Amino acid sequence: MEIKRIAIPLLCTVLFALTRCGNHNYSNKIPIPQKFKKGQEVITYLDHCFSMLDNLEKNTADYIKTVTDINVRIRKTIEGINSLELLKEVNKSYSLAKHEYLFTLSEDGKVAAFTWHSRMEESTLRIRNIALYASEDNKVVPTSLYGNPLNLYQIHTVEIDNKPLYLFHGSTESNQKQSFRIDAYTINNNGLEQLAVFPNRNSSLTSALDFDVEMDASFILKAEKWGSHTAYRPLELSTNHEKSDFVEALTKLDNMIGPQQFKITNSWNFLNGSELPTNHQNFSKNTFVFDDQLIVNLTYDATKDSSLAMLSTPQNDKIQLPFRGEASLVGKMGNYLFFSNAKDGKQDNLHLYDIDKREIRWTYPMPQAFLTEDSVVFTESIEPYYLPHNRKIECDSGLGINKTYYKVYAVKYREPTPIVEYTNQIFCGSTKYSRLAKL
């Protein structure tokens, strides 16, 4: 009997709310539902509202008005979650079934976010986000988030500067292309605010592939498409006497790097550090012969705008390797070949080819590069306003409008999975000479 006395009032409350949201004859006279006291009531009400939203037909005369009204009710219901206890109950009830919207709660239970599709397709509010956070007096406060809305599916929590940092992890779609983003937030006197804790003083990370967040969110693997393969840039939480932030994984180079290391110094148009061909002997200028008896013949068909590399190995294997556009052989290290071809006529793709496995291991655009015994050292341009405040970088006054800044990275080409590491070096150079090869 005690169970019935509790269950019946709860059921009546929810049914009363559902009839208000479920009525097809919407009117401004229908009040916004009052705040719910139980998490299950919130979830049940939201589920019904989203069911109504999904069942609406776009060709009805009052479609926009109805969609707007339902979205207002959804927003008001979420904003009515005003205590940590209710937020905890909402999380528990949400986890019991599938829903037409997303909800995620941080590990410490103090930050949450709702995501839903508003069905307002022509509006910038097609995807809606509402975050909830606990103020200093533990009251739950609703707030909007910065930037374009995300399909938020997780909030990671990590300790930084003796306070929690919240990493909002989600995805978005634009022109049918999915991308992923992590936004960093902290709670301060002004509420929930973004914090620039990522490289280049950014408060967000973006990628075409999803992130792997590990080790209590203190280690992030940023995945990238390198041709048909995946490369990773590790980011790890670093703390010093000034502040804590995420830094790119570092690798050390023996020498200071500048433009001169990338300027090709051989007559073969090969990357510095590469094995060089022997004399051509009786071969054409498009044929390269190496000390280990590997022969590479490269031809270009202008009518088809395609190149073909013909490899003859010491074991008399014959390998054909096609490329779109005009390509060049720009390097060799053991059983690895490096080819370059232009990307949109602006930047060069570097292709790593594994002779043993007969496959292109990866492809990535690089403005300039050189080879070491185990790595490709390359550059990526960086805008001046992203330069570290504590580093003075000398520039040649004669560079003029071609002046730019480059960060230096390295990737070990013998590893099956490319891991990109920062060398902690930045130099000033010219865009005029930033090409891998003379095509």
Taking each helix axis from N to C terminus, what angle separates 39-55 and 2-22, rounded to the nearest 10 degrees? 30
% of the chain surpassing 90 pLDDT: 64
Q: Is residue 347 very low, low, confident or very high in pLDDT (cuts 50, 70, 90)?
A: low
10 Å CB burial of residue 259 (0-12, 13-18, 19+) is middle
Helix (H, G, I), strand (E, B) or coil at 74: helix
Give the type of residue at 390.
N
Using one digit for the tens of pLDDT, what is the confidence trace for 310-335? 999 988 889 999 999 889 999 999 99
The most distant pair of C-alpha atoms in the chain lies apart, rounded to whole Å, by 101
pLDDT reported for residue 121: 73
pLDDT at 179: 93
Per-residue DSSP letters for 206-261?
A: EESS--EEETTTTEEEEEEEETTEEEEEEEEEEE-SS-EEEEE-B---SS---HHH
pLDDT digits (tens, 9 = 90+) for 88-128: 999 999 999 999 999 999 999 999 999 999 988 766 678 89
Q: Are 251 and 421 in contact (CB under 8 A)?
A: yes
pTM: 0.84
